[in-house]
Structure 1
Amino acid sequence: MVRIIAGARRGRVLAAPSGGTTRPTADRVRQALFDVLAHAPWGGPALLEGAHVLDAFAGTGALGLEALSRGGERAVFFETDRQALTALRANIHACGWEERCTVYPRDVTVPPAARATPATLVFLDPPYHKNLPGTALAALKARGWIAPNAIAVIETGRDEPLPFTDETEGAPACPHELLAERQHGAARLSIWRLA
């Protein structure tokens, strides 16, 4: 069972599609993530309060909805799976946040031009082992979806290399700043300040 952990909609149970297509971030992992966001020297309440959130590969929308519950202003969700979209829309409705949320049923690696305020907080929870974080972020940035110095939270498989790193000798330095990294079971979370 997936639920919102804290804030205005604390305890709200979220719908999740059956089957293995969608892999919602576990409650304990979300709790640990939002603890880091709330208490890190580069984070704190100001990071979430009034944030414009973008939840890419949204699935149930648990990450974006958690951010809204904790003070975020608006959220944009990208998702392509039909069952996940049904659950996502049901979860937005159950929270009463239709006016604060926009859902794009399309591939986040080929987004339309931004029609909303650029996101200050970005969540990417793509399918593991497909090398999607860098592609998605580059596309979102090019189309105006991401604010300067936004914070990006990326979930990958524990055994995947960190996004934006290349151990090849002579590779250019990563323009993004790695702020934190945590491992939880099969998941690895990395938090970045985007250049």
Structure 2
Amino acid sequence: MKARCRRPVLVRISSQSSKMSPSPSPSSINRCVFIRVLLSLLILSYGRAGKSVKQEGEKMRIISGERRGLQLKSASGTDTRPTSDKVKESVFNMIGPYFDGGRVLDLFGGSGGLALEALSRGMDRAVLIEKDRRAQAAILENVAKCRYDDRVELIRADARQAVRRIIAKGEPFDLLFLDPPYARDTYYKLAGELAEAGLIARGGTIVCEHDRSVSLPDSFGESIKEKESVYGGTVITIYRNAAGEGETNG
């Protein structure tokens, strides 16, 4: 028998398969861009949240004096802005660093860190003014932790209202702290009101913490600007009441 020759098998390639894959439609490109932008925003938000948590978790402490090293609670979640340990230490090195008695007034108490530091370094009594309830709770907790309950008075009021009460009472202070939570010149005028009322004792000191955008006068009453130091975006301006110093009898 004769062998049959097989016909070659022809494979037809579809015209559709020979074409290149179709380009993505504009709608699919927009979806990809949207997803990438969304992921970037989520990553950025997560980073900011982590930074915020870290900042709220930062601890304050008493730097020196009889309560040195004692950890304090910060008033997180409020409009207060606690003074950093670095700035606080620099401030007390400029105005003290230690005291032989006296009275300290903090017009914007925050967590109470500045006033409690002053007590630890030798001040006798402290008056703190704070209107925020969460900050008030932090102050009371820190005062109790320092065992200064009998040496601290907390006035739960707005600083402007409290200053009127303090002026009416007429008891002078040796040290005054002003660190308003907002960059407004009007709050610093309270120092002038206290100075004009004679409530900054002879040799007394006024410490103002403020932003660079805030411009303060050369004096508050008889308290003259003595020094101004810059720490990043924070400025510390110190005034001293030198009235009567150097006078002798006779």
Same fold (TM over 0.5): yes
Aligned counterpart for 1:155 among listed residues 202, 209, 221: 209
State TM-score, norm by structure 1: 0.83
Can you list the C-alpha shifts for 1:119-147, whole angstroms capped at 9, x where unaligned?
11111111232113432223434666433
Can you list the C-alpha shifts for 1:78-117, whole angstroms capped at 9, x where unaligned?
1111111110111111100011110001112122145474
1:191 counterpart residue number: 238
1:29 counterpart residue number: 87
Question: For residue 107 of structure 2, what is the amino acid of its counterpart?
Answer: A
Aligned counterpart for 1:14 among listed residues 72, 79, 100: 72
Can you list the C-alpha shifts for 1:23-58, whole angstroms capped at 9, x where unaligned?
0000000011111113xxxxx64xx22021001101
Q: CA–CA distance in 1 between the matches of 2:106 and 2:144?
A: 17
- Identify if the C-alpha distance between structure 1 residues 14 and 173 changes in structure 2 by more than 3 Å, giving closer, same or farther: closer
The 5 Å alignment of 1:12-161 reads 12-38=70-96, 45=98, 48-111=99-162, 112-114=165-167, 115=169, 117-141=171-195, 145-161=199-215
Classify the secondary structure of the residue corresponding to 2:95.
helix
User: Per-residue deviation at 1:174?
Assistant: 7.4
- Identify if the C-alpha distance between structure 1 residues 15 and 190 changes in structure 2 by more than 3 Å, giving closer, same or farther: same
- Between 1 and 2, higher relative CO (CA 8 Å, sep ≥ 6) is seen in 1
Identity %: 35
RMSD over aligned Cα atoms: 2.4
- Identify if the C-alpha distance between structure 1 residues 134 and 149 changes in structure 2 by more than 3 Å, giving closer, same or farther: farther
User: Per-residue deviation at 1:22?
Assistant: 1.3
User: Per-residue deviation at 1:149?
Assistant: 4.6
Aligned counterpart for 1:164 among listed residues 209, 213, 217: 217
**2:108–2:130 CA contact under 8 A, matched in 1:** yes
Gaps of 5+ in 2: 1-58, 244-250
Classify the secondary structure of the residue corresponding to 2:68.
coil
Structure holding more helix per residue: 2
- Identify if the C-alpha distance between structure 1 residues 180 and 173 changes in structure 2 by more than 3 Å, giving closer, same or farther: closer
Q: CA–CA distance in 2 between the matches of 1:104 and 1:158?
A: 29
State TM-score, norm by structure 2: 0.66
Gaps of 5+ in 1: 39-43, 166-171
Structure holding more strand per residue: 1
**1:109–1:139 CA contact under 8 A, matched in 2:** no
Q: CA–CA distance in 2 between the matches of 1:58 and 1:4?
A: 15
**1:109–1:135 CA contact under 8 A, matched in 2:** no
